[in-house]
Structure 1
Amino acid sequence: MIKRYVISLYRYLLIENKYNFFKNTTIHNRNERLDFGLRKEYELSCFNFGVTKFRIVKMTYLSTFLWAFVLFGLVVLWSVVEFFIESRKKKEISI
């Protein structure tokens, strides 16, 4: 009986997650207020341990972080190029 109840609850939660019944929760509203113009994408994962349900909201700012890494790489590359240009100028002056 309990096993059947847990399985039916699990199926219900899968359907609930599939059709995004949790879309307008206070967690989402709070994250939208704290967003500061970054991309607002939320992924809702449900982990079920027996009857207890834990909902985890993940904010995916992957594109923002990728752009930050690209810009950091460009700054490092530019500083290396500047270093070699300056070292060549010093060698030419010393000759």
Structure 2
Amino acid sequence: MEIPLINGFYFYVLRCADNTLYGGYTINLINRVERHNKGQGAKYTKARRPVQLIYFESFDNQHDAMSAEYQFKQRTRSSKIKFLKKNGISLTNLK
């Protein structure tokens, strides 16, 4: 997956080492994924490293990106997996 080098408004999904999924918002994807993997990201991902970026969307504004993050976090696990599959993400080893 090619990560954009320019700053913007992004919603992203990480696959954690324990095969859980984490959704977040950022303006710099590269920096944010690096911080998660250094243990400087969210508490949730700190204990589940390494993480892998598996999906992202860019938005025109912060509000829309944060809304996408909120909506993803409200989903059940099975609904999150369906969302990712619908968006072309192949998830092996996830149930």
TM-score w.r.t. length of structure 2: 0.26
Question: Whose radius of gyration is greater, 1 or 2?
Answer: 1
Considering fraction of residues, name the structure with more helix. 1
Higher strand share: 2
